[in-house]
Amino acid sequence: MSRRTLLHASAGLMGGMLLPGSFAFPALAADHPPIGTWPAGSEAATVTIGATVPRTGTYAVQGEDEIKGMQLAVEHINSGDPLVKKIAPKVEKGLLGKQVTLVIADSAAKPNEAVQEQQRFINENKIIAMTGATSSAVAVALNKFAEREKVLYLVGISGSNDTTGKDCARYSFRQCFYGETAANAIGPVLVKNFGKSKKAAFMTPDYTYGHTVTKSVNDYLTKNGGWTMVTNQISPLGTQDYSQYLTNIANSGADVMVNVNWGRDAVLSIQQAKQFGLIPTMRLVVPYQIPFLAKEVGPELTEGVFAATDFWWTLEDKFPLAKMFVEAFDKKYGYKPEWGANNAYMQFAIWARMVSEAGSFYPPDVIKQYEKGETFPSTVGDVHFRPEDHQLVRPVIIVRGKAPKDMKNNEDYWEVVDVVPGEPLMQKSDAFGCHLGDYT
């Protein structure tokens, strides 16, 4: 017997056993039959979100940054902080009269481990929402898991087109930018600054994020700049020695190296490219920027490098909510936030908005609130969700690495070149095969 069938059967049995004067549970069940962890997960004084993020492995640094954004958001929701209230005006020291708690497990960027930990959170904590990813392979797995378990999934960092494309899910929502929007935002900048008919060598991590980002970037540059992909070096996640891939790139005749690797893989591959003498002989491009990249490889290697990103802290000069976020994060953690933390914070703040506007934790009610597509403020200006694929319509930030001599402080690694409006960057909602599942 499936878990959902068992819940329905249990509900009917309990309803039949209630005394004539006891009507609370039957009324609740008549209104909305039990689904997922509802109503059990929202009956106590607290509600819980389960986070599975990489705390070990090649994406561990980025995972810890995401956690900080989540923790700050939970603190702000529970205290009714002015920043959260700008995004979710109906939040009042908690959510629908309840405090929000967070449970965290290490996914090690492995889909099976992420799913197993979220299953444990469902069983033990009755979580009403899941979050985390960093690896798009994890995001895709949790999309399917969320759909099966009927528990909301607030996607963490995930750059694959597939997350809101062919692997989209009714129960999943993504806030961050992705391969197609990154390509369409950074592509014009590369053609303008590097010229047409260039030869490009790609470095691609071997999973859904890497392949879809590489395809989107190459498609744009081929079509609009007459660029040629002379080699595509595909490496496993967690590679330590890139010498064979860099040797092939060195012999390819490329003008530009487009490095799609992420996390520790990006750091190592860039450092080793310098050791091979490929940098600065070839121009380096990072189409999907990695939080902490400049800090870890050093500004000497990111100087002049163009990258697309979700958020950079100097946006505080342009957007009032960005300023509030940067100040709150810096005060709590002692450093300027990177985009992983910002993405996690925004996912929680948006979720709080949708729950408070719906006036319910019942998953289909919350989903339908997201799907209204209403415009609301964020740390990068006004945004809205596209109901057809549950992708946030948001700008992509183009940055260029600063020379060490131009840095105003030890965290001033990037200058914001452009804030590119999101809607023109996006494919049609069904172009990548998205077909959302059922509500129940």
Structure confidence by residue, pLDDT tens digits, 268-285: 999 999 999 999 999 999
Residue 91 has pLDDT above 50, yes or no: yes
Q: Give mean pLDDT, residues 91-112.
A: 96
Q: Please give the pLDDT value at position 11.
A: 41
pLDDT digits (tens, 9 = 90+) for 331-343: 999 999 999 999 9
Task: Please tell me the predicted confidence (pLDDT) of residue 295.
Answer: 96
Q: What is the pTM of this model?
A: 0.91
Strand bridging mode 283-286 / 306-309: parallel
Amino acid at 402: K
Quickly count: other Cβ atoms within 10 Å of residue 86's Cβ: 17
Task: Answer whether residue 13 shows pLDDT above 50.
Answer: no
pLDDT digits (tens, 9 = 90+) for 362-407: 999 999 999 999 999 999 999 999 999 999 999 999 999 999 999 9
Asked whether the beta carbons of 182 and 217 are under 8 A apart, the reply is yes
What's the rounded Cα separation, in Å, for the pair 193 and 196?
Answer: 9
List, for residues 373-382, the tens digit of each pLDDT value: 999 999 999 9
**Is residue 16 pLDDT above 80, yes or no?**
no
10: pLDDT strictly greater than 80:
no
Find all residues with CB under 8 Å of 2, minimum gap 6, and list them. none
Query: Region 37-50: what's the mean pLDDT?
Result: 97
Distance CA 81, CA 65 (A): 21
Q: What's the CA gap between 6 and 424, in Å, rounded?
A: 46
Mean pLDDT for all residues in the chain: 93
User: If we measure between CA atoms, which residue out of 186, 190, 400 comes closest to residue 303?
Assistant: 400
CB atoms under 10 Å from CB of 94, counted, come to 18
432 pLDDT exceeds 60? yes
Mean pLDDT of 64-83: 98
Query: Does residue 19 carry a pLDDT above 90?
Result: no
Whether 292 contacts 338, CB under 8 Å: yes
pLDDT band at residue 14 using 50, 70 and 90 as cut-offs:
very low
CA angle 329, 287, 115 (to 5 degrees): 65
Amino acid 133: pLDDT? 87
**pLDDT band with cut points at 50, 70 and 90 for residue 25:** very low
Residue type, 349: A
Token code pair at residue 177: 């930018």
173 DSSP 8-state letter: E
How high is the pLDDT of residue 175?
Answer: 97
Q: How far is CA 145 from the centre of its chain?
A: 17
How much is the pLDDT for 31?
A: 79
Residue 22's CB: how many other CB atoms inside 10 A? 10
User: Mean pLDDT, to the nearest integer, of 93-119?
Assistant: 97
Average pLDDT value for residue range 234-244: 97
- For residues 48 and 121, what is the distance between their CA atoms, to the nearest angstrom? 9
Taking residues 160-165, report their average pLDDT: 96
Q: DSSP string covering 378-399, please?
A: -BTB-BEEETTTTEEE--EEEE
